[in-house]
């Protein structure tokens, strides 16, 4: 099954300021990743081609970095996730920029069920939390996303955590 999953947020900040957050993902100064609510993202080295990392059961490898603009990664796990995901910082003509996260992949085998039933809802909630954090860090006014009942149930079943 072909998957295109897109999350985006317009932010009242310069592309350089937003990129500064993206390039710190998984590092000691990472302010963007919502690690207070989700498994921490980690990499084996600085974000550069060949760096490997992930969060929870998700594993990936950095395939390209276009400084100031785009971070591209390829899925290594779970099985059946064949594709990429990327963070992009796009300047806006009206000022500020847009932070975009895109997954483009084909699912096969167990991922035909695990993506739509488990991983997609959790991924969507995590990405909205990340974008909410980016908005808060850049002074962009907005409401914090609420987790769906299904996301709360999944979190309870998978980790025993009570959710907000």
Given this model, what pLDDT does residue 159 score?
A: 81
Gap between the Cα atoms of 77 and 8, Å rounded: 24
Given this model, what pLDDT does residue 161 score?
A: 65
Decide: 135 and 164 in contact? Cβ < 8 Å.
Answer: no
Given this model, what pLDDT does residue 98 score?
A: 98
Mean pLDDT of successive 10-residue stretches along the chain, which has 164 residues: 97 96 96 95 97 97 98 98 98 95 98 98 98 94 90 90 60
Q: Which CATH superfamily is domain 2-159 in?
A: START domain (3.30.530.20)
Cβ neighbours of residue 14 under 8 Å, at least 6 residues apart?
96, 97
Where along the chain do its domains lie? 2-159
């Amino acid at each position: 099954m072909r998957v295109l999953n897109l999350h985006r947020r317009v932010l009242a900040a310069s592309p350089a300021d937003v990129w500064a957050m993206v390039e710190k993902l998984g590092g000691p100064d990472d302010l963007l990743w919502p690690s207070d609510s989700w498994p921490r993202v980690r990499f084996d080295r600085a974000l550069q081609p060949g760096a490997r990392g992930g969060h929870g059961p998700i594993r990936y490898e950095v395939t390209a970095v276009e400084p100031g603009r785009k971070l591209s990664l390829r899925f290594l796990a779970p099985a059946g996730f064949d594709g990429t995901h990327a963070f992009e910082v796009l300047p806006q003509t009206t000022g500020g920029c847009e932070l975009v996260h895109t997954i483009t992949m084909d699912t096969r085998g167990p991922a035909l069920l695990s993506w739509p039933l488990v991983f997609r809802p959790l991924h969507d909630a995590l990405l909205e939390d990340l974008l909410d954090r980016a908005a808060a860090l850049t002074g962009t006014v907005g409401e914090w996303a609420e987790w769906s009942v299904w996301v709360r149930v999944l979190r309870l079943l998978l980790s025993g955590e009570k959710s907000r």
